[in-house]
Amino acid sequence: MRILAIETSCDETGASVVEKKGDAQTIQVLSNVTATSLAIHATTGGIIPENAAREQVKYIIPVISEALLKSENFGKIPDKWDLETANKILKEKIDAIAITYGPGLIGSLLVGVETAKTLSFTFNKPLIPVNHLLAHLFANFIHTPPSFPFMGLIVSGGHTDLLFFESLKNYRWLGGTRDDACGEAFDKIGRLLGLSYPAGPEIEKRAKDGSSTKIRFHSPLIDSHDFDFSFSGLKTEVSRFIEAKNLTKALTNEICYALQDAIFKVLAKKTIRAANLYKVNHIVLGGGVSASKTLPEYFKYSIKKAGLSLKILVPNREFTTDNAAMIGAYAVLDYKPLNWHRVTASPDLYFV
Ligand code: KG4
Ligand code: ZN
């Protein structure tokens, strides 16, 4: 089974060709191309949806074409405008098309969904609609076979959600953020600190030099009995803290450490409590914030402290932030094609 996967939920335009041979345990990524409009959003301090959609229109055809050409041309840099060869590969080598249908920004999603529908109709290929959030978790199963049951934590710029996966078909949402997502908290507070967008990676880097700090911020809802999170209050707490202070480099680094500590502590504590309650052996992390090398360290420390033995899975770094290979991986593992005219963009899609 060889799949062309397309991802356009936000500011990344991704296309990938993935393959699962017979009963192979792992998925091969034959190509994975991502174009990003991040530089434009850095100038506006965040994403303006119309700008993101406009860039999607610009990138979609060359990105798909490049992914198709690369899937047949290891090592060579193809001419991404060689649409004739790309069409031939799609026609002859691809079994199905997978597409992110939500959640995400409506304008961005529409570009990918309408393109995928057109290709599905024109080339007569089955079309598999994929939930972007579930795909973030399934990014782990590109190189490692899935092991159910597991506790899944999605941590991205738009989402913080905890899901119990009993099996592929049987999963349950246990809780999520009541307001800002954890990545959003990093980005918004980063802006207060004068860091560029997206701030998560720089906060992680600076936190390494601020670890001797005595500054502590609250870990919201850390002792609540549910599995909810809340990060918008941290913005107010940090903004009050820095009022009338001279934000030196050293102080900024210390704030970054304290902020990361407050967020990662609550993510680890609640996920580990859920894993213990539901008696699973694996915790699976996914989403842009799982690109952090520090986050799994918090999990390992808390697991050890609680005297538990739980395994933590994190996707390979290239599959943590938005990409199409994870969309392909999900479609391979949960192959459910729909007739193209039944596939529609669903910006508010949750867990179905
Ligand atoms: O999954 P993603 O690429 O896009 C969404 O679907 O939202 O996630 C982007 C988020 C941003 O908020 C960014 O600040 C955060 O991931 N991020 C990080 C790190 N790298 C990216 N947050 C903390 N530490 C990192 N190293
Ligand atoms: Zn995402």
pLDDT tens digits, 95-110:
999 999 999 999 999 9
Question: In the 8-state DSSP scheme, what is residue 320?
Answer: T
Q: If you measure from the C-alpha of residue 241 to the centroid of ligand 2, how many angstroms do you get, rounded to a whole number?
A: 31
Q: How far apart are CA 306 and CA 293, in angstroms?
A: 21
Residue 41 has pLDDT above 70, yes or no: no
Question: Hey, what are 169's tokens?
Answer: 């078909």
Ligand nearest to the CA of 291: 1
Ligand 1 site residues (CB inside 6 A) read: 10, 156-158, 183, 186-187, 198-201, 204, 287-289, 291-292, 321-322
Contacts 24+ apart (CB under 8 A), 335-343: 335/1, 335/96, 335/128, 336/128, 337/96, 337/126, 337/127, 337/128, 338/127, 338/128, 338/129, 339/127, 340/117, 340/120, 340/121, 340/127, 341/117, 343/99, 343/101, 343/113, 343/116, 343/117, 343/127, 343/129
Q: What is the pLDDT of residue 36?
A: 83
Q: SS3 for 73? A: coil
Q: What is the mean pLDDT of the chain?
A: 94
> How far is residue 6's CA from residue 27's CA, in Å, rounded to a whole number?
16
pLDDT higher than threshold 70 for residue 75: no
Alpha-carbon distance values, 255 to 220, 235, 285, 321 (Å): 16, 12, 25, 24
Work out whether the CA dihedral 146, 151, 155, 160 comes out positive or negative: positive
Q: Is the pLDDT of residue 173 over 80?
A: yes
Q: What pTM was computed for the model?
A: 0.94
Helices (H), the chain: 38-44, 49-71, 83-93, 106-123, 132-138, 182-192, 200-207, 232-242, 249-277, 294-305, 325-333
Is the model's pLDDT at 22 over the cut of 90?
no
Task: Return the residue whose CA atom lies nearest to atom 8 of ligand 1.
Answer: 288
Q: Ligand 1 atom closest to Cα of 197?
A: 14
CA torsion sign for 128, 134, 139, 143 is negative
> How far away, in angstroms, is 184 Cα from ligand 1 center?
8
**Residue range 319-345: average pLDDT?**
97
Kindly state the average pLDDT of the residues 139-148.
Answer: 94
Residue 198: nearest ligand to its CA? 1
Q: Looking at the CA of residue 292, tell me the nearest atom of ligand 1.
A: 26
Q: What is the pLDDT of residue 74?
A: 63
CA of 158 to the centre of ligand 2 (A): 7
Query: What value does the mean pLDDT take over residues 245-262?
Result: 97
- Ligand 1 geometric centre to CA of 83 (Å): 33
* Three-state DSSP state, 299: helix
Best mutation site among 131, 156, 322 for ligand 1 pocket (most ligand atoms within 8 Å of CB): 156
CA dihedral (348, 163, 198, 32) positive or negative: negative
Instruction: Indicate the length of the chain as a whole number.
Output: 352
Average of per-residue pLDDT across 265-282: 97
Mean pLDDT throughout 194-201?
94
**What sign results for the dihedral spanned by CA atoms 14, 196, 288, 164?**
negative
CA dist., res. 100 & res. 190, Å (int): 29
